[in-house]
Structure 1
Amino acid sequence: MKTNARKRGLCVLMIAVMLLFAADWNVLTVLASETSPEFDLNAGASQVVEADILSEDTSFQDKVEEAQEEAEERNKFVMANVENSVNVRAEASSESEKVGLLYEDCGGQILERGDGWTKIQSGELIGWVKNDYLLFGEDAWAYAEEVGVTIATVETEALRVRKEPSEDAGVYGLLEIDSEHEVMEQLDGWVAIKYGKYTGYISSEYVSLEFFIEEGETMEQIQERERLLALEKAKLTTNLGATAATEEDVVLLAALIHCEAGNQSYDGKVAVGAVVCNRVRSSRFPNSIREVIYSPGQFTPAGNGKVDARIAAGVDEECMQAARDAIAGETTVGDALYFRRAGNKTGYVIGDHVFY
């Protein structure tokens, strides 16, 4: 490569010399009188060409080094190639102690690669994984780009979210400094993000972008996560005390449960009943099951006649039992007061609903 660069430099030098000799003699005389002798003039041209060659060599070398660094990074990268998870061992043996799990969509760095096993690091997890359950090189990078996510972190106060990637476009709203947003697409000077139900555009000048891949878990991390989940579940299922109700209230609540969650799991059915009973307990809502259910604009099936029609047709026993359990104080969603179809709303998700 250096030889080619020097050849190009010599060609430039020859052209420069030819231009000097071909130029008008009067112009050369003026240049000589105002600057230096002809020999020095040609020497200066040579120095400029040599400087260009050095600059070109340096720039080319930088690009080569960048490419080498990127290639090395790709060669050290690994992704899990499993449907669920794969065991990570303390040593390169199936009989060795299990130190953690590498899940589907998780990635990491190669610490040592062997014929049958590879030592990896994924987050805090360090250990050996069978090569059969890993992707390497370009395969790993391709999969990472498919399942990974790029996060934009806002680095300025009140960043405008535009309706189009243009300074002249309308504004949906403002983003706070340090807020994080998943990137949908990167454009020239703009980043597309999800903003509510819209696609918004923010200037790439005012955000930092970072690509994330899920990481594995050590056995200690798994145990701690399961402990916290158990505490959260206990909180969500703590009996909140019985709600005053007649048999008619039980049937009414069961009919609403059938209309709202008839195709959901039993926990999902109890959750709908619990929301109604939680409202009865709350000072923000009426203090009876009937009044809560028939409050204007609250439960669509109650307002459009479907609840009454279900009562007339009869309610199945599972919905009846879910209503009795909810009235007795059982809950699967703590003291949640609302629910809707699962989507962007944050809360406790059970089946097709999110409770909050």
Structure 2
Amino acid sequence: MNKRGVRIAACTLLGTVALSGYQMRLEAKINHSADVPSAGFGAAIEQGSTIQDLQDDVIQNIAYLESVSGLKHNILLASEKVALADAPVSAVLVNPTVVKSKASAEVMQDVLSTIAEIETETIPEVSTQEETQAVGEQADTAEQEYAETETTQTMESLIDAIKEAEEAESSAVEDSEVKTSAGFSATDTYEDIETETADSETTEEVTEEETTEEETETVEEAQDFSGLVIARVSNYVNVRSIPSEEGEIVGKLYDKSVGEFVEEENGWYKITSGNCTGYVKGEFCVVGDEAEALAKEVGTTYAIVNTTTLKVRQEASTESAVLGLVPIEEELVVVEELDGWVKIAIEEGDGYVSRDYVSLRTDFVHAESKEEEEARLAKEAKAREEARAAAAATESARAAQQAARSEANQEVIAAAQGTAASSEGSAMGKEVINYATQFVGNPYVYGGSSLTNGADCSGFVMSVYANFGVGLPHSSSAMRSLGSDVGGLENAQPGDIVCYSGHVGLYVGNGQIVHASTSKTGIIVSNASYRKVLTVRRIF
């Protein structure tokens, strides 16, 4: 027998052994005996029979025994039994879609190991007919001894595998009422289990998505605005010492400014607002439910950063991309409060910060007492005079410090300076714009204050005014209280500081500002009303 013949015989024989083991197990069940013969086949081997004949007999015996024992015919589909009888056993054993056996892994390993060992054997070359015959006889003897040894070992492993499969089968019947026989699963049963598992996994995924949505649901906490008095006038209403127009004016409650209600007397409301306490005429104010509704419009909620550098993210998640960075103690306007997150406004757009790293405060505009007004006016006048004097002293140095202008920005710079020159305003304010616009095109650097190498928004404004001898803080929120309030963008003049939530710029004129915008754009000239303006402050 040549090498190929040995391999075919081994494959066929081992496949028959596997089927024969199942046949003998059926016989043992029919006879109500747990004893299984340790060796032998469940089919008679007649003289002159081939291994293929033995295999056909075993398959026929299995079909008969299954019928007698009452077991479900699920070891193989009927069509697969016919195909098994006609096809080489090696092809059947290596095709997992034909036999779905829980013990197939062990049997397959034995078969593949046997084939590998047989294929690697070296059959010596012979040159004579006598030597060929001798070698063939030796190969037949070795084949018979090897087959007997492998048969015994394979039967033992099959018996163990069948016992383990029956134990698993019993457990599976109790849990899921899926019927199996002799450790084999029917094709239709196996597919049903896979379908049920897939459905279960899908259900789990949906549940997890629903849980995530519930966890990120916005939690709205009601704010108490009761007991407020809000002015609703074109400019301001006087706060008087007594509930009468004859009373002394002790302060002013400007439009949309808020006070705390104390009492009502003859159509006058006694209020406390800031450092001012007195009476305002009721017809110029709103109280009660109307005041509570209006408070949501006139009040401004700020998020104050309490960590060194806070990341602002595009979505309310730590997995979301970073939109921008804000420094400690920066005050940002709150757009919306969420569960664990706060939506705020910065130069790059609206983003989200963790509630753990900010503290919230809602501010209202309060009344200004007579003393406070006088002190404010005197301070503004003094600051204006100092700024003009400092600008005059440094005017000559300004021309020498001008940086080389980029050719690409010449047209923009010239247009901005022309706009400033043609706009109403002080000469000093226009000089501020002439100086600031020469740095258009230079980079934006977070935390920077260099007009040539890079600056952020407040660093840019600070450095521009420093050239005129005016010291400003490196903070956009702090700049909102400098100088004097001009009353909105419509009253702005060249050189005024335009303040936004988390951002500042310098007013050029004709509705434009020059500012250090973002790291992508650098220092640019753009529309001043591209975002909501909080206040416009005048230094000169």
Which TM-score bucket, shorter chain as reference?
0.5 to 0.7
1:27-42 matches, cutoff 5 A: none
Aligned residues: 229
Matched residue SS, 1:141 = helix
In structure 2, how many angstroms separate the alpha carbons of the residues matched to 1:335 and 1:272?
Answer: 16
State the one-letter code of the partner of 1:235. Answer: E
**1:121 correspondence with 2:280:** no
Residue in 1 that maps onto 2:402? none
In structure 2, how many angstroms separate the alpha carbons of the residues matched to 1:174 and 1:270?
Answer: 33
Q: 1:31-77: CA deviations, max 9, x gaps?
A: xxxxxxxxxxxxxxxxxxxxxxxxxxxxxxxxxxxx9x95xx61x21
1:266-285 matches, cutoff 5 A: 266-267=425-426, 271-273=429-431, 276=434
**1:265 correspondence with 2:424:** yes
Distance 1:266 1:217, change over 3 A: closer
**1:87 correspondence with 2:245:** no
Aligned with residue 340 of structure 2, among 189, 192, 203? 189
**1:225 correspondence with 2:376:** yes
Aligned with residue 392 of structure 2, among 229, 240, 244? 240
State the one-letter code of the partner of 1:264. Answer: S
Percent of aligned pairs with the same amino acid: 32
Runs of 4+ in 1 over 6 A off after TM superposition: 255-258, 338-341
In structure 1, how many angstroms separate the alpha carbons of the residues matched to 2:357 and 2:283?
Answer: 43
Matched residue SS, 1:234 = helix
Q: Is contact 1:341-1:354 (8 Å) kept?
A: no
RMSD across aligned C-alpha pairs, in angstroms? 3.9
Q: 1:148-191: CA deviations, max 9, x gaps?
A: 11111234454321111112101134444443221011223221
1:114 CA drift (Å) = 1.8
Give the alignment's TM-score, normalised by structure 1: 0.54
In structure 1, how many angstroms separate the alpha carbons of the residues matched to 2:310 and 2:432?
Answer: 40
Q: Is contact 2:243-2:279 (8 Å) kept?
A: yes
In structure 2, how many angstroms separate the alpha carbons of the residues matched to 1:194 and 1:105?
Answer: 22
Unaligned runs of 5+ in 2: 1-221, 400-413, 443-464, 471-493, 516-540
In structure 2, how many angstroms separate the alpha carbons of the residues matched to 1:168 and 1:145?
Answer: 32
Whichever of the two has the greater Rg, that structure is 2
In structure 1, how many angstroms separate the alpha carbons of the residues matched to 2:276 and 2:301?
Answer: 22
Residue in 1 that maps onto 2:350? 199
In structure 2, how many angstroms separate the alpha carbons of the residues matched to 1:162 and 1:172?
Answer: 5
Aligned with residue 281 of structure 2, among 130, 134, 150? 130
Distance 1:151 1:205, change over 3 A: same
In structure 2, how many angstroms separate the alpha carbons of the residues matched to 1:296 and 1:136?
Answer: 49
In structure 1, how many angstroms separate the alpha carbons of the residues matched to 2:241 and 2:317?
Answer: 53
Residue in 2 that maps onto 1:215? 366
Unaligned runs of 5+ in 1: 1-66, 246-254, 280-291, 299-330
Matched residue SS, 1:240 = helix
Distance 1:208 1:341, change over 3 A: closer
1:133 CA drift (Å) = 0.9
In structure 1, how many angstroms separate the alpha carbons of the residues matched to 2:344 and 2:258?
Answer: 24
Distance 1:110 1:340, change over 3 A: closer
State the one-letter code of the partner of 1:82. Answer: V
In structure 1, how many angstroms separate the alpha carbons of the residues matched to 2:468 and 2:381?
Answer: 14
1:199 CA drift (Å) = 1.3
